[in-house]
């Protein structure tokens, strides 16, 4: 078997970040307590509950403030804001729950020690992570074998999904080509070099990217079989694409589509659906109560800045293609579509100043809790689209109607992973995320979406 390089997969790096966040924080707190006059937080067998609550808070708020986003974690200037927010809110909540945590000290300087000890620990560990783990020596190196027509799209998707996933070269399966195709920083190798390049470059896995298995020549086929027998991982590109990007590559799926859509059993699991619906009802009630508190301010803002009807209804497509009226606070000028149906765009001139605030904070979505209580929508699911666009997109995008096998949602995997869709290309990206959610639907994925939705609201990313 060829020599292999040391690398960490996405899940391994996220686990590594979480574990060493806690290890560094506890070590620095122990050091501060042992070195200085700091006795607010002491790590002993009797005080195990204090430690557990601190770990819980760091994990929860770290997730909310995107402390474990791998793209952010690769650069200290990007992750520093998340660190400060996580530490600040963690310390605040730790002080506000004295039943589970130590009583506030008489010497307020100890609060400062506590805060900066956690801040220093996280910054120290993240600098070590960026210096060592994110360095090229820990890249996961891959070699692509496939047709040149699909390679460029795949390379770009992998590069954006994981900065530590390095494609070092490709072997083109197409027999007829006029000249070598060049990609920036990625070399093309001949089939005869396949085995040698795996050995020389310490390739971690080979990705086979081919629409048609008949393009794999006997020379490449036997080379791949030999490498497989030597223990080199060989994976189909749609599997790698899905693992890295967390979306279904529908643009690469052909007549054998059924291989890519073994949908989650949760879609038919009565227990999951029962608790999912119960959770929808409970959250909707809380959301409407929350909405009543903000209603006077929204009403006043609408009178001053929007000058028109407060509510806005629009026909959307729900589960199994059923139509329903979605309810929202109005964010656009009156008669916004007098010139015909049009995509909502970034910095859309039809959106009022107050409407932009409502969209950025997601407050315009509050009335949709009524749709959820009526059973027309769920808290989590693909966003419902208008009939006009559903008809248009169904003709352009494969499997678009598949979104409608579950209830549409107030928030969803596509909403927390990508920006607002304003074109067919954006809709294709959203569709990939929606199908990923339907395929992997579970309580854990739902919880992940809720946490990321909180991040979206906190960082004003709504549109």
Domain count, the chain: 3
Q: Is 251 a member of any domain? A: no
Q: Do both 311 and 421 map to the same domain?
A: yes
2 domain residue, yes or no: no
Name which residue leads in pLDDT, 454 or 433: 433
Higher pLDDT, 105 or 52: 52
- Which domain covers residue 399, as residue numbers? 265-458
For residues 238 and 270, state if they share a domain: no
Is the predicted pLDDT of residue 136 greater than 60, yes or no?
yes
| Residue 1, in any domain of the structure | no
Whether residue 241 is found in the same domain as residue 272:
no
Average pLDDT over residues 387-405: 91
pLDDT at 50 over 70: yes
Q: 393 with 400: CB under 8 angstroms?
A: yes
CA distance 311 to 318: 20
Helix (H, G, I), strand (E, B) or coil at 146: strand
Q: Are residues 273 and 370 in the same domain?
A: yes
Residues 339 and 241 in one domain: no
Return left, alpha or beta for 231; rule: phi > 0 is left, psi -120 to 50 is alpha, else beta.
left
Q: Do both 119 and 231 map to the same domain?
A: no
309 and 452, same domain (yes or no): yes
Which of 93-107, 170-184, 423-437 ranks highest by mean pLDDT? 423-437
Kindly state whether residue 5 falls inside one of the protein's structural domains: no
Q: Is residue 315 scored above 90 in pLDDT?
A: yes
Q: For residue 38, what pLDDT band results from cuts at 50, 70 and 90?
A: confident
Per the document, the length of the chain is 463
Most confident of 143-152, 298-307, 370-379: 370-379
Query: Do 271 and 217 belong to one domain?
Result: no
Work out the burial of residue 129: count CB atoms within 10 Å of its CB; fewer than 13 is exposed, 13-18 middle, 19 or more buried. buried
At residue 420, φ and ψ (nearest 5 deg) are -65, 135
> Is 18 contained in some domain?
yes
Mean pLDDT of the chain: 86
**Residue 370 shares a structural domain with residue 408:** yes
- For residue 304, what are its two tokens? 């001053």
User: Which comes out higher in pLDDT, residue 3 or 288?
Assistant: 288
Better-scored residue on pLDDT, 153 or 277: 277
At 420 the pLDDT is 67
Determine which helix (DSSP H) or strand (DSSP E) holds 428, and give its type and residue range.
Answer: helix 424-440
* 112 membership: H or E segment, kind and range: helix 109-128
Residue that is last in its domain, among 93, 114, 133: 133
User: What three-state secondary structure class fits 46?
Assistant: coil
Asked which of 100, 115, 133 is the last residue of a domain, the reply is 133
Half-sphere exposure (CA, 13 Å, Cβ side) for 15?
5
Within-domain flag for 19:
yes
> Is residue 25 classed as helix, strand or coil in its secondary structure?
helix
Give the CA distances from residue 291 to residues 117, 193, 283, 342, 420, in Å, rounded to whole numbers and listed in that order: 39, 64, 12, 29, 23
Evaluate whether 219 touches 225 at the Cβ level (below 8 Å).
Answer: no
Gap between the Cα atoms of 275 and 410, Å rounded: 17
Q: What is the pLDDT of residue 387?
A: 93
C-alpha span between 463 and 419 (Å, rounded): 8
| pLDDT tens-digit readout, 107-135 | 778 888 899 999 999 999 999 999 888 87
Residue 83 lies in a domain: yes
Cα gap 106→37, rounded to integer Å: 13
Verify that 202 and 273 share a domain, yes or no.
Answer: no
pLDDT at 426: 86
- Structural contact between residues 290 and 298, judged by C-beta atoms closer than 8 angstroms: no
Decide if pLDDT at 347 tops 90.
no
Domain membership flag for residue 3: no
- 234 and 176 belong to one structural domain: yes
Distance (Å) of CA 202 to CA 1, 23, 78, 112, 376: 11, 32, 31, 48, 53
Find the CATH number of the domain harbouring 183.
Answer: 3.40.50.1380
Asked whether residue 226 falls in the same domain as residue 274, the answer is: no
């Amino acid at each position: 078997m060829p020599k292999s390089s040391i690398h960490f997969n996405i899940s391994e790096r996220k686990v590594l970040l979480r574990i060493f966040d806690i290890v560094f924080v506890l070590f620095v707190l122990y050091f501060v307590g042992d070195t200085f006059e700091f006795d607010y937080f002491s790590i002993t067998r009797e005080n195990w509950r204090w430690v557990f609550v601190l770990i819980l808070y760091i994990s929860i708020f770290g997730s909310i403030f995107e402390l474990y986003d791998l793209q952010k974690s690769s650069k200290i200037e990007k992750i520093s804001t998340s660190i400060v927010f996580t530490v600040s809110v963690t310390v605040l909540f730790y002080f506000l729950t004295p039943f589970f945590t130590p009583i506030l000290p008489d010497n307020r300087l100890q609060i400062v020690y506590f805060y900066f000890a956690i801040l220093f620990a996280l910054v120290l560990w993240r600098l070590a992570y960026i210096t060592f783990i994110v360095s090229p020596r820990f890249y996961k190196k891959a070699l692509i074998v496939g047709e040149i027509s699909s390679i460029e799209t795949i390379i770009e998707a992998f590069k954006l999904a994981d900065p530590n996933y390095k494609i070092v070269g490709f072997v083109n399966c197409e027999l007829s080509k006029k000249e070598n195709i060049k990609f920036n920083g990625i070399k093309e190798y001949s089939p005869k070099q396949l085995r040698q390049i795996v050995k020389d470059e310490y390739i971690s896995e080979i990705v086979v990217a081919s629409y048609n298995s008949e393009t794999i020549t006997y020379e490449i086929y036997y080379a791949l079989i030999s490498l497989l027998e030597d223990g080199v991982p060989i994976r189909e590109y749609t599997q790698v694409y899905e693992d890295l990007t967390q979306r279904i590559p529908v643009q690469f799926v052909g007549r054998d589509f059924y291989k890519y859509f073994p949908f989650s059993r949760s879609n038919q699991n009565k227990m999951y659906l029962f608790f999912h619906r119960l959770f929808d009802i409970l959250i909707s009630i809380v959301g409407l109560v929350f909405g009543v508190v903000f209603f006077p301010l929204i009403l006043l803002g609408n009178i001053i800045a929007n000058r028109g009807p407060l509510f806005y209804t629009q026909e959307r497509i729900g589960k199994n293609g059923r139509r329903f009226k979605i309810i929202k606070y109005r964010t656009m000028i009156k008669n916004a579509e007098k010139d015909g149906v049009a995509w909502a765009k970034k910095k859309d001139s039809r959106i009022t100043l107050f409407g932009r605030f409502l969209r950025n904070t997601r407050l315009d979505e509050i009335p949709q809790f009524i749709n959820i209580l009526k059973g027309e929508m769920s808290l989590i699911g693909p966003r419902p689209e208008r009939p006009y666009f559903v008809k248009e997109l169904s003709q352009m995008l494969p499997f678009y109607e598949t979104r409608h096998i579950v209830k549409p949602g107030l928030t969803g995997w596509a909403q927390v992973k990508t920006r607002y869709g304003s074109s067919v290309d954006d809709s294709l990206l959203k569709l990939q995320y929606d199908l990923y959610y339907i395929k992997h639907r579970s309580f854990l994925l739902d919880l992940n979406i809720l946490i990321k939705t909180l991040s979206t609201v906190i960082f004003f990313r709504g549109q």
